[in-house]
């Protein structure tokens, strides 16, 4: 079986072709493809999609998008591996490894990926090395036990009563949770970064390992991968493209009329994820209080945080969350990069920002 390739310059024609539209399973969603096309670090000759057909039926694919390391004089262009799939009927036959080797050659051995599965890591262990380990937390404000446990009919009534109790407790916490944050601080909530935010991001981007500044943030907000519009829902794409609720928020923080910086988070179906922090002097205790108040006021189910400073603060003041679960996420690389701990790794680096 041959590997078919689509270059960035060919991608728009590909997603508008009859071939693409008639596929039972699509190797890339329309929204993700448009995002790839507008990636500020993409080049026309980049191969961004690899796929294999068997008798005109899609049996495997992998996508990749360009990014840069841009931190205090260290610059390097590489590709993020994303969207990997092999049909169940063709797994265990070395197809994923075959595609990976082709990508490795085309991208001159400069690849990264995040949250790789143990199976995928095993099959490509000669190429990949862990270079960063996120230590984060997931905080639950409300949740359904019935949705998380496979239970017998005998337990259903007990689980139903337990869910009612959990929702009652979270409702009570919502009433008694203190709403006060020091009046010295002002929080302005935006749907996208304004000029103040973009200027600060651009001035601080060399402290961030992946150098996300003005053009990167403008790209991310202009070309999201997930939609909450049913008419954009692509049923033929394996990975998620739709959520009943999905949005980004940018929060500008000022103290006594002095702009300190901003942070970004997303909310998807009741799950808040912190993504990006850019500040010139801030007590993370203040951010923790604001985020917890937002979760309570919006009646969200959970919040996930990987930022080291924020995680440390929240662990010391977990109320009003019912419980906290530790999380790990990893970044792997095919090339040596020992300096990563000298720079800031954002919660949303890689494709986490988009999903």
List the chain pLDDT tens, one digit each, 355 residues.
899 999 999 999 999 999 999 999 999 999 999 999 999 999 999 999 999 999 889 999 999 999 999 876 778 999 999 989 999 999 999 999 999 999 999 999 999 998 765 555 665 667 889 999 999 999 998 754 444 444 455 455 555 555 555 555 555 555 556 656 778 899 999 999 999 999 999 999 999 999 999 999 999 999 999 988 876 566 688 887 889 999 999 999 999 889 999 999 999 999 999 999 999 888 899 999 999 999 999 999 999 999 999 999 999 988 788 889 999 999 999 998 878 888 899 999 999 999 9
DSSP conformation class of 2? P
Are residues 104 and 231 both part of a single domain? no
User: Would 40 be classed as within a structural domain?
Assistant: yes
Interatomic CA distance for residues 353 and 273, integer angstroms: 9
pLDDT at residue number 145: 45
pLDDT at residue number 121: 62
Are residues 185 and 289 both part of a single domain? yes
Report whether 247 contacts 265 (CB < 8 A): no
Are residues 75 and 210 both part of a single domain? no
Question: Which domain does 276 fall in, by range?
Answer: 136-328
Report whether 291 contacts 123 (CB < 8 A): no
Phi, psi of 146, deg, nearest 5: -60, -30
152: Cβ contacts below 8 Å, ≥ 6 apart: none
Are residues 57 and 164 both part of a single domain? no
pLDDT tens digit sequence for 188-209: 999 999 999 999 999 999 999 9
User: Would 58 be classed as within a structural domain?
Assistant: yes
pLDDT at residue number 146: 43
User: Nearest-CA neighbor of 237 among 34, 11, 58, 26?
Assistant: 26
User: Nearest-CA neighbor of 226 among 81, 40, 80, 29?
Assistant: 29
Instruction: Give the chain's domain count.
Output: 2
User: Would 342 be classed as within a structural domain?
Assistant: no
H/E element holding 212?
A: none
CATH code at position 79:
3.40.630.30
Strands across the sheet containing 271-279: 3-7, 47-54, 57-71, 74-86, 111-114, 323-333, 129-140, 302-305, 271-279, 258-268, 246-255, 185-190
User: Would 346 be classed as within a structural domain?
Assistant: no
94: Cβ contacts below 8 Å, ≥ 6 apart: 123
Are residues 85 and 219 both part of a single domain? no
pLDDT tens digit sequence for 67-104: 999 876 778 999 999 989 999 999 999 999 999 999 99
pLDDT at residue number 238: 83
CATH code at position 179:
3.40.630
Instruction: Quote the pTM value.
Output: 0.88
């Amino acid at each position: 079986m041959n590997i078919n390739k689509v270059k960035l310059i060919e991608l728009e024609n590909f997603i508008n072709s009859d071939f693409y539209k008639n596929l039972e399973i699509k190797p890339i969603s329309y929204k993700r493809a448009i995002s790839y096309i507008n990636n500020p670090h993409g080049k026309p000759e980049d191969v961004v999609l690899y796929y294999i057909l068997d008798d005109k039926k899609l049996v495997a694919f992998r996508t990749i998008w360009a990014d840069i390391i841009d931190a205090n004089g260290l610059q390097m262009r590489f590709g993020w591996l994303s969207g990997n799939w092999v049909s169940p009927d063709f797994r265990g036959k070395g197809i994923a490894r075959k595609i990976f080797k082709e990508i490795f050659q085309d991208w001159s051995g400069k690849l990264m990926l995040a949250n790789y599965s143990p199976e995928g890591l095993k099959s490509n262990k000669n190429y990949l090395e862990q270079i960063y380990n996120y230590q984060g937390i997931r905080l639950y404000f409300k949740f359904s036990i019935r949705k998380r446990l496979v239970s017998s009919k005998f337990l259903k009534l007990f689980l139903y009563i337990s869910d009612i109790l959990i929702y009652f407790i979270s409702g009570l916490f919502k009433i008694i949770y203190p709403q006060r944050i020091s009046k010295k601080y002002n929080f302005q909530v935006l749907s996208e970064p304004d000029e103040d935010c973009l200027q600060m991001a651009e001035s601080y981007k060399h402290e961030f390992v992946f150098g996300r500044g003005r053009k990167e943030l403008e790209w991310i907000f202009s070309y999201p991968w997930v939609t909450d519009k049913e008419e954009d829902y692509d049923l033929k794409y394996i990975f998620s493209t739709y959520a009943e609720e999905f949005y980004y928020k940018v929060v500008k923080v000022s103290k006594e009329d002095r702009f300190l910086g901003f942070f970004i988070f997303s909310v998807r179906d009741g799950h808040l994820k912190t993504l990006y922090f850019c500040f010139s002097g801030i007590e993370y205790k203040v951010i923790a209080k604001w985020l917890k108040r937002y979760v309570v006021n919006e009646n969200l189910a959970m919040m996930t945080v990987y930022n080291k400073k924020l995680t440390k603060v929240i662990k010391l003041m977990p109320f009003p969350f019912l419980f906290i679960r530790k999380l790990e996420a990893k970044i792997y690389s095919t090339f040596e990069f020992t300096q990563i701990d000298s720079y800031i790794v954002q919660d949303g680096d890689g494709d986490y920002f988009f999903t």
